[in-house]
């Protein structure tokens, strides 16, 4: 059973709260069952994934019926939206309907009640999540009910997540972090969920939770608000993901809240595969060890093994029960995503130390820089730059160079910065060949909704 706690006999007031509105467990089950009756038999259903109780109920209703859910970002544009709807074959639209959407539109009735259907096949597709589309049209990632269940159970084990926790987050409800972990996780474990609508420091401080989810942008803002940060002292666990948490932010959070953050790693195709454990050592920049049932390895460009010495860089590959079932209508892309011996190729480069702790360096396509015969990870250069007290953001890319192959170029945000001094800082912290050949001071870095820097827009 995927949403185990939703079917529990005990009544749970305020099982989910979104902003000022809340819904009890039995009300959620009843309203979602009414949705399930309306979507039964559909090929797929699109849900306008804004921060609302209606989004939660619509998603849960589809899952109860065994119908694949296509969460559509509330701010998606007509082109992206049209692609996702056509590609997924969605037959209904739940939520406010944009003018360009011609599907049969339905509205969630929170007061409606329906009969709870039988549990669908664990192998059935639960979600079709669309990738960011940075290398072409977004691809539909097929996630089974079984993969979601395995992933959430592994995280409950890693984070000691129990029904006694109160989960707080304000993340968007169309991706793994905000929807799968942040909604379905709470409904599987049985912990109440408080969604703050917007992830502001003030909202997090007022929520009174024990378990908090955030992305680096959120935690950076909390760290800059000492009063809000200190209000989280009573929490049990602060979890950061979706991008690397800068070491200075990690340090400030640990000082102000009394909790060193837990960092983790995953992607739409794998869910969360690596995490620091609640009872494990927490070090800035490390995303921990594989969760239960998952194995990882590092390989060179020709498929050879990479030493687990904390320094050597290789492509991260993964196997385990949390992996996706392929890309919808993309057999070639699906085949290319796996190695010849059955490991998923994440496309990320990483290091693993002797204790098995992983550090994500970045994407192989954009963050592995080949300069002057050396292989340099953009992430390690960014981490070095962020040790400067006046650097608030940093992004490093490789730019084509006739002499070096690629030269290292850094984009930094901050006040009163000396580009030459920053290049020397990297040379002194890491190695001379890893220093940026150019340092460009900018007002801000381009980011997507999850706070990830969009490096394709730099240069």
Question: In the chain, where are the structural domains located?
Answer: 4-195, 372-457
Q: Comparing C-alpha atoms, which of 125, 130, 149, 144 is closest to residue 68?
A: 125
H helices of 3-127, in order, are 25-39, 53-65, 78-88
The torsion region of residue 298 among left (phi > 0), alpha (psi -120 to 50) and beta comes to: beta
Neighbours of 299 (CB within 10 A): 16
User: Which residues, including other chains, have CB under 8 Å from residue 365's CB and lie 6 or more apart?
Assistant: 135, 347
Q: How many CA atoms lie within 13 A of 416 on its CB side?
A: 3
User: Which residues, including other chains, have CB under 8 Å from residue 316's CB and lie 6 or more apart?
Assistant: 296, 297, 298, 346, 348, 349, 350, 358, 360
Distance CA 9, CA 26 (A): 9
pLDDT computed for residue 364 by the predictor? 76
Q: What is the CATH number of domain 372-457?
A: 3.30.300.30
Distance CA 108, CA 249 (A): 40
pLDDT tens track for 186-210:
999 999 999 999 999 999 999 999 9
Distance CA 406, CA 253 (A): 36
Task: State the DSSP string of 23-38.
Answer: E-HHHHHHHHHHHHHH
Q: List Cα–Cα distances, 259 to 10, 225, 282, in angstroms.
A: 32, 16, 10
Neighbours of 188 (CB within 10 A): 23
Distance CA 185, CA 153 (A): 8
Q: Comparing C-alpha atoms, which of 220, 235, 272 is closest to residue 394?
A: 220
Q: Comparing C-alpha atoms, which of 288, 334, 340, 338 is closest to residue 318?
A: 338
Neighbours of 383 (CB within 10 A): 23
pLDDT computed for residue 317 by the predictor? 97
Positive or negative: CA dihedral 153, 157, 159, 163: positive
Q: List Cα–Cα distances, 354 to 247, 274, 429, in angstroms.
A: 21, 16, 22
pLDDT computed for residue 379 by the predictor? 80
**Residue 446 forms beta bridges with which residues?**
none
| Strands 45-49 and 69-73, sheet pairing | parallel
pLDDT computed for residue 135 by the predictor? 52
φ, ψ of residue 59 to 5 degrees: the values are -60, -45
Q: Is 219 exposed, middle or buried (0-12, 13-18, 19+ CB in 10 A)?
A: buried
pLDDT computed for residue 133 by the predictor? 53
3-state secondary structure of 251: helix
pLDDT computed for residue 171 by the predictor? 93
4-195: CATH, from 3.30.2130.30, 3.40.50.12780, 3.40.47.10, 3.40.50.720: 3.40.50.12780
pTM metric for this prediction: 0.85
pLDDT tens track for 134-162:
556 789 999 999 999 999 999 999 999 99
Q: Is 421 exposed, middle or buried (0-12, 13-18, 19+ CB in 10 A)?
A: exposed
- Whether 103 and 93 have beta carbons less than 8 Å apart is answered as yes
pLDDT tens series, the chain, 459 aa: 888 888 776 566 779 999 999 999 999 999 999 999 999 999 999 999 999 999 999 999 999 999 999 999 888 888 889 999 999 999 999 999 999 999 999 999 999 999 999 999 999 999 999 986 555 678 999 999 999 999 999 999 999 999 999 999 999 999 899 999 999 999 999 999 999 999 999 999 999 999 999 988 899 999 999 999 999 999 999 999 987 888 889 999 999 999 999 999 999 999 999 999 999 999 998 999 999 999 999 999 888 999 999 989 899 999 999 999 999 999 999 999 999 999 999 999 999 999 999 999 887 777 778 787 677 878 878 888 988 999 998 999 989 887 788 899 999 999 999 999 999 999 888 878 889 999 999 999 988 766 678 888 887
CA 341 to mean position of chain CA atoms:
27
Q: Enter the DSSP assignment of 311.
A: S
Q: List Cα–Cα distances, 56 to 1, 25, 203, 448, in angstroms.
A: 18, 12, 20, 23
Distance CA 91, CA 80 (A): 17
pLDDT computed for residue 368 by the predictor? 75
Both tokens of 132, joined, read 């960011």
Q: How many CA atoms lie within 13 A of 7 on its CB side?
A: 15
Q: List Cα–Cα distances, 154 to 92, 180, 208, 274, in angstroms.
A: 33, 13, 25, 10
pLDDT computed for residue 357 by the predictor? 96
């Amino acid at each position: 059973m995927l949403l185990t706690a939703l079917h529990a006999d005990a009544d749970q007031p305020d099982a989910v709260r979104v902003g000022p509105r809340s819904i009890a467990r039995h009300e959620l089950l009843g309203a979602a069952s009414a949705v399930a009756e309306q979507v039964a038999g559909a090929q797929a259903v699109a849900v306008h994934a804004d921060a609302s109780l209606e989004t939660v109920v619509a998603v849960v209703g589809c899952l109860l019926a065994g119908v694949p859910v296509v969460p559509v970002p509330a701010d998606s544009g007509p082109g992206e939206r049209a692609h996702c709807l056509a590609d997924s074959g969605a037959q209904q639209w739940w939520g406010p309907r944009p003018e360009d959407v011609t599907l049969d539109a339905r509205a969630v009735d929170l007061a409606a009640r329906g009969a709870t259907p039988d549990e669908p096949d664990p192998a059935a597709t639960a979600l079709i999540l669309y990738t960011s589309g940075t290398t072409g049209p977004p691809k539909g990632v097929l996630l089974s009910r079984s993969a979601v269940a395995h992933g959430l159970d592994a995280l409950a084990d890693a984070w000691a997540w129990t029904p006694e926790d109160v989960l707080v987050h304000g993340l968007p409800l169309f991706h793994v972090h905000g929807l799968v972990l942040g909604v379905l996780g709470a409904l599987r474990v049985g912990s109440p969920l408080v969604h703050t609508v917007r992830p502001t420091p003030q909202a997090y401080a007022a929520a009174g939770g024990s378990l908090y989810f955030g992305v680096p942008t959120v935690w950076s803002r909390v760290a800059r608000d000492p009063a809000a940060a200190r209000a989280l002292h009573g929490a049990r666990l602060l979890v950061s993901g979706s991008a690397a948490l800068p070491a200075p932010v990690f340090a400030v959070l640990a000082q102000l809240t009394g909790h060193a953050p837990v960092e983790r790693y995953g992607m739409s195709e794998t869910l969360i595969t690596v995490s620091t454990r609640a009872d494990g050592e927490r070090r800035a920049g490390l995303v921990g060890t594989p969760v239960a049932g998952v194995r990882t390895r590092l390989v060179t460009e020709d498929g050879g093994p990479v030493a687990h010495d904390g320094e050597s860089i290789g492509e991260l590959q993964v196997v385990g029960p949390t992996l996706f079932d392929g890309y919808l209508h993309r057999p070639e892309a699906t085949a290319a995503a796996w190695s010849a011996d059955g490991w998923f190729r994440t496309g990320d480069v990483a290091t693993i130390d002797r204790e098995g702790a992983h550090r994500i360096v970045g994407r192989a396509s954009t963050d592995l820089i080949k300069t002057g015969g050396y292989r340099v990870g953009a992430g390690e250069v960014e981490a070095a730059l962020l040790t400067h007290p006046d650097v608030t953001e940093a992004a490093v890319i490789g730019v084509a160079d006739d002499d070096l192959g690629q030269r290292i170029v850094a984009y930094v945000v901050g006040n009163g910065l000396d580009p030459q001094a920053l290049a020397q800082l990297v040379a002194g912290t890491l190695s001379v060949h890893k220093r940026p050949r150019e340092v460009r001071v900018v007002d801000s870095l381009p980011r997507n909704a999850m706070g990830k820097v969009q490096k394709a827009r730099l240069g």
